[in-house]
Amino acid sequence: MLGLALCFVVPLWGLIRFAAGSELYSYILLIPFISLYLVWLNRQKLPPVSRPCRGIAAGFLTVGTIVLAAYWLGFRSRLKLIEDDYLAVMMISFLLLFFGVCAFFIGRDSLRTNIFALGFLVFLVPIPTAAVQWIDALLQAGSATVAHCFFTLSGTPFLRSGLFFKLPGITIEIGPECSGIHSSLVLFITSLVAGYLFLRTPGRRTVFVLAVIPLAVLRNGFRVFTIGELCVHIGPEMINSPIHRRGGPLFFVLSLIPLLLLLVLLQRSERANVKSKPETGELRNSAPPE
């Protein structure tokens, strides 16, 4: 038992240190607190008695143990995982075992009430390196396309070659560090929490969350366009300005504006839908018999 605890204490501490020093995964430090807050919000909905889900608990515990054992006994000596991927394996195993313990002690009804809060903990898992590279590539390509459209609409002369933009006096490349993956992940997490708190229907929640994808690409493409225009009209030295090096939070806040407007529209749509149902029912009930 002590050995199993040590198997997770060390990776958990490593995850904290890793997230604290990572620009991409700094949001991980907030995930447990957000999950606890969501559980606290549901405290009034918790049933006084809830039967344990022993079958579900056994499934989670078994799979979690298999993942942990497979890594330590079979793949650890063969796979030389970098820190991101090692922590991803450890966190997947930890969460499976944690879900199993919750299913056994909390019970079915309590588990169902807090299923979103518990599932939200999946963001403790660092994204595998191969997936990060794939997401980076997609965001880079999308941002380049959006920036291309903005430069065309603005009338700024430019030549584009893939991810390179040759502007008057400077050439800009949309590198992996310019993909905006960190702010896109944070925006995605924000949309999940906001959709859960302020929307009620699964369809509208899905629309709200999926809207983050084009919004993230649009935001980053606009950022590339803005930096390019500053370099053209002020000077090439603007490529090293704070708006390029540390301007991510500013453009992130700007992207929250259309996301908030979409949330308001979806909320109004839900309210209108709820109001229309009783009215329809009253019309049907008041209709005279034929």
With cut-offs at 50, 70 and 90, classify the pLDDT of residue 288. very low
pLDDT of residue 79: 63
Q: What is the pLDDT of residue 13?
A: 83
Please report, rounded to a whole number, the percentage of residues in the chain having pLDDT higher than 70.
Answer: 89
pLDDT band at 2 (very low <50, low <70, confident <90, very high): very low
Distances (CA, A) of 35 to 60, 111, 161, 176: 19, 13, 44, 30
Residue 266 and residue 174 share a domain: yes
Q: Are residues 65 and 137 in the same domain?
A: no
Range of the structural domain that residue 85 is part of: 2-126
Per-residue pLDDT, 175: 83
Instruction: Say yes or no: 118 and 14 in one domain.
Output: yes
pLDDT given at position 5: 54
For residue 75, what is the DSSP state? I
If asked whether residues 154 and 178 sit together in one domain, one would say yes
Q: Between the CA of residue 110 and those of 39, 50, 114, 119, what are the distances in Å? A: 10, 6, 6, 14
Cα-based angle 22, 213, 26 (whole degrees, multiple of 5): 15
Q: Is 17 inside a domain boundary?
A: yes
Per-residue confidence band for 53, with pLDDT thresholds at 50, 70 and 90: confident
Same domain, 141 and 55: no
> What digits encode the pLDDT tens for the residues 208-224?
999 999 999 999 999 99
Query: Does the predicted TM-score (pTM) go above 0.95?
Result: no
Percent of the chain scoring above 90 in pLDDT? 44
38 and 118 both lie in a single domain: yes
